Amino acid sequence: MVFSEEVFKRKSEFGGSIELICGSMFSGKTEELIRRLNRARIAKLKVEIFSPKADTRFVEDALVSHNASSISSTPVDSASAILLLANGANVIGIDEAQFFDNELPEVCNALANKGIRVIVAGLDMDFKGRPFGPMPAIMAIAESVTKLQAVCVQCGNPALYSYRLVPDDARILLGEKESYEPRCRICYHH
């Protein structure tokens, strides 16, 4: 099929997309995000990566998975800062999306509408099993959703919950294996 220049211009202007990678803690979300971003770089696409400045568990200027894979990223205070820093990227990666403000879905839509491939990763549920931050809205507008599962540390079944081990009722509590463990539905509720 031959595209006219006008049709090609429209396709590039609106050819963006939103991909969501979600799941519980320790399910491999950041690992999958890094894999997709590295593939985009192999394809010689310009990639920009962002994470919330509030996530201070690892190094400030990189995404680091639990398997120690890493990739450089830019920490930002708000979702709107991503629009300002997109710098002509073909692909935008966003990690720990649940920690961003509720403008993130609009930012993702604006980027995708400019022809940018937007890959978002984050927890779909908080430790109480409730939808987390802007994740449900992003899930609704995404062209594709990949829901990853961890392994339940209690029984070995697929885990979709992040069970909090420490007695703290704050919705956001940064932590790793000392504070959380993945659990299946049965082990989470019992």
Phi and psi torsions of 62, nearest 5°: -155, 150
Nearest to 159 by CA among 133, 120, 189: 189
Residue 124 lies in a domain: yes
Q: Which residues are catalytic?
A: 96
Cα–Cα dist 84/71, whole Å: 21
Residue 166 lies in a domain: no
pLDDT tens-digit map of 66-103: 565 667 889 999 999 999 999 899 999 999 999 999 99
Which residue range(s) make up the domain with 126?
7-148
pLDDT for the residue numbered 54: 74
**Beta-strand relationship, 91-94 and 117-123:** parallel
The total number of structural domains in the chain stands at 1
CATH of the domain at 136: 3.40.50.300
Residue 178 lies in a domain: no
Nearest to 180 by CA among 68, 24, 55: 24
Residue 91 lies in a domain: yes
**Beta-strand relationship, 158-159 and 91-94:** unpaired
Residue 78 lies in a domain: yes
Cα–Cα dist 92/75, whole Å: 13
Residue 37 lies in a domain: yes
**Beta-strand relationship, 161-164 and 180-183:** antiparallel
**C-alpha 81 chain-centroid distance:** 16
| Residue 35: other Cβ atoms inside 10 A | 15
pLDDT tens-digit map of 106-142: 999 999 999 999 999 999 999 999 999 999 999 999 9
What are residue 159's DSSP bridge partners? 150
> Which has the higher per-residue pLDDT, 72 or 21?
21
What are residue 21's DSSP bridge partners? 121, 146
Residue 161's SS3 state is: strand
Phi and psi torsions of 82, nearest 5°: -60, -40
Residue 62 lies in a domain: yes
Residue 156 lies in a domain: no
